[in-house]
Amino acid sequence: MRIEAVVGDITRERVDAIVNAANSSLMGGGGVDGAIHRAAGPGLLEECMELRRTELPDGLPVGQAVPTAGHDLPARWVIHTVGPNARRGETDPALLASCFTSSLDVAGDVGAAEVALPAVSAGVFGWAMEDVARIAVEAVKNWKPQQAGTPVELVRFVVVDEAALAAFRREI
């Protein structure tokens, strides 16, 4: 599996799946979550509302992931994961690592060979970019597919600026 990092807009990534740094409600929000919901169009919100009505009535738990269609995005899939919020005392690195490994598990389940990931929990959730980069890259490097033949071939971290890029490239 190749691992790379770029500065960019995750909503424009031409990969099989992009990962959304979602909130547990799955109803959109700010940052990456809001940008993905806006770019994907109203079908994404409708699908998330259906998930809440059926599979996830209490919302998506921290560290877990769930797929939806990409709707109006170039990516076929959006994989939603909820990062731990350090501002609320959620500072367990294992929870953050689980966001990345759970997202890759889901990517494998849906047949996504190329996956773009944001810096989950950096920014408004209060984790330092250096910590997110270290934990994320280590989690991806140590990830083992749940089943033989899981086709994840490329993991691309899509970050917001050169400082974040430098943090991820140091870890890669």
User: What is the length of the chain?
Assistant: 172
Q: Tell me the chain's radius of gyration from C-alpha atoms.
A: 14
pLDDT digits over 36-66, tens only?
A: 999 999 999 999 999 999 999 999 999 999 9
Is 92 among the residues known to form the active site?
A: no
Alpha helices by DSSP H, listed for 25-115, are 31-40, 42-53, 93-110
CA distance 134 to 124: 18
pLDDT digits over 136-170, tens only?
A: 999 999 998 876 666 899 999 999 999 999 999 99
- Give the residue extent of every domain in the chain: 2-171
Whether the predicted model's global pTM rises above the 0.75 cut:
yes
CA distance 152 to 100: 13
- pLDDT attached to residue 149: 63
Q: Which of 16, 33, 105, 161 is catalytic?
A: 33
**Chain centre distance of CA 107:** 10
2-171 is a CATH 3.40.220.10 domain: yes
Q: Which helix (H) or strand (E) holds 99?
A: helix 93-110
Read off the pLDDT band of 124 (50, 70, 90). Answer: confident
